[in-house]
Amino acid sequence: MYKTQMEAAKKGILTPEMKRVAEKEFMNPDILMERVAKGEIAIPANINHKSLMAEGVGNGLSTKVNVNLGISRDCPDVDKELEKVKKAIDMKVEAIMDLSSFGKTEEFRKKLIAMSTAMIGTVPVYDAIGFYDKELKDITSDEFLEVVRKHAKDGVDFVTIHAGMNREAMEVFKRNKRLTNIVSRGGSLMYAWMELNNAENPFYERYDELLDICEEYDLTLSLGDALRPGCTKDATDAAQIKELITLGELTLRAWERNVQVMIEGPGHMAIDEIEANVKLQKRLCHGAPFYVLGPLVTDIAPGYDHITSAIGGAIAASAGVDFLCYVTPAEHLRLPDLEDMKEGIIATKIAAHAADIAKKVPYARDWDDKMSKARADIDWETMFSLAIDEEKARRYRKESTPEHEDTCTMCGKMCSMRTMKKIMSGEDLNILRD
């Protein structure tokens, strides 16, 4: 009947995944199906990911949050990363990207896919060096594609593929000097491979074969921004825009094959450039869902980049970005631990929710209205239950207990909520008296 969600939508078939997304997002199923058919909404759902609770990314839907995990040479502990997976799922993230680059990558990926209700993404080029136990230069074009097939067969829902950095884009990059060169890990690996072998990017050169794999497993392409800016100075430069133009062309080719696409974006970027970048991406990439890392709006805050990212993410998502990749306090410093991950998720969820209010996502504001009523009523239990981080809210109140239950230690009996509640209900106001 159909191979991919996009093909089903074009044929007017409402899949179980579409039904779930429509119900969750309070969207008319016919409108959802129309937008999936156009490519404005992607539902990453590999046919082999059996535990998946499908999510939609794109036009008119709530802003989704991704968490990066994975083992590395310095931190190869599979069980420790699986603890993070469990926590991320408990915190209801919509996506987890496995960025494993060393060690038991296949073991971790298969366990992750088996247990995860969230959609799973990978960057296959990260896995290639360890999988083949070869130096980068010696990996063949065939082998790069075979790793993608392996990930697809395992059940990965979307893959980051840096197909837009072709030889033309490399020349533009070389002619336009940057402060931080190429900061994308996958992008730098592909650039190095192309230079070392004096060859074209295999994912660009053999794009149709890549689409064959995607179509077979309903694998969504997340077209990576190999030339994204790694500092605010490099943002919106010639190399970034050249790659974006190519990604738009590759998007149309994928849609012709009924392969779903998301476009990845910057990166580091000054606040005043964010909205224009979102509009440019949406125009050049024909309304495809936009997935950004940050953007980080300043380069001076190692240890606090979850904040710099949340600022940029809220602005980007309110301007039309559909999917935010979290950034943790450990960004630029080390592999995040469990607490770093939690702080990154919370910061990114705040950014996503703030944007959803601005985007008029159905019922997004209701959460805030319920919290505001609980504050007006001085209903602490309801406030805690509605908090984005209930544990922290409860802990903060417990650590500084007020003399009177209907106050906190900031304002005491001068609390404005307490004052107005008493006066508006006709009660006497006692601030100094017991």
418 annotated as belonging to a binding site for a ligand: no
97 annotated as belonging to a binding site for a ligand: yes
Rounded to whole angstroms, what are the CA distances from 253 to 57, 241, 246?
Answer: 20, 19, 11
330 annotated as belonging to a binding site for a ligand: no
- In angstroms, the first-to-last Cα distance of the chain is 74
291 annotated as belonging to a binding site for a ligand: yes
415 annotated as belonging to a binding site for a ligand: yes
290 with 281: CB under 8 angstroms?
yes
Q: How many residues does the chain have?
A: 434
162 annotated as belonging to a binding site for a ligand: yes
332 annotated as belonging to a binding site for a ligand: yes
Rounded Cα distance, 425 and 233, in Å: 56
5 with 15: CB under 8 angstroms?
yes
- Reported as half-sphere exposure (CB side, CA atoms, 13 A), residue 339 has a value of 3
376 annotated as belonging to a binding site for a ligand: no
Pairing assessment for the beta strands 95-98 and 119-122 based on DSSP bridges = parallel
257 annotated as belonging to a binding site for a ligand: no
264 annotated as belonging to a binding site for a ligand: yes
166 annotated as belonging to a binding site for a ligand: no
126 annotated as belonging to a binding site for a ligand: yes
228 annotated as belonging to a binding site for a ligand: yes
Torsion of Cα atoms, 137 then 138 then 142 then 145, to 10°: -50
225 annotated as belonging to a binding site for a ligand: yes
Q: The tokens of 32 are what?
A: 């959802």
How many angstroms separate the most distant Cα atoms in the chain?
Answer: 83
Cβ density class 256-295: b for 16+ within 10 Å, e for less: ebbbbbbbbbbbbbeeebbeebbebbbebbbbbbbbbbbb
Q: Give the DSSP per-residue string, 305-369.
A: HHHHHHHHHHHHHHTT--EEE---TTTTTS---HHHHHHHHHHHHHHHHHHHHHTT-TTHHHHHH
Q: What is the CB neighbour count within 10 angstroms for residue 198?
A: 7
Indicate the annotated binding residues for Zn(2+).
268, 332
> Binding site membership for substrate: which residues?
68, 97, 126, 162, 184-186, 225-228, 264, 291
User: Binding site for [4Fe-4S] cluster, residues?
Assistant: 408, 411, 415
Which residues belong to the annotated binding site? 68, 97, 126, 162, 184-186, 225-228, 264, 268, 291, 332, 408, 411, 415
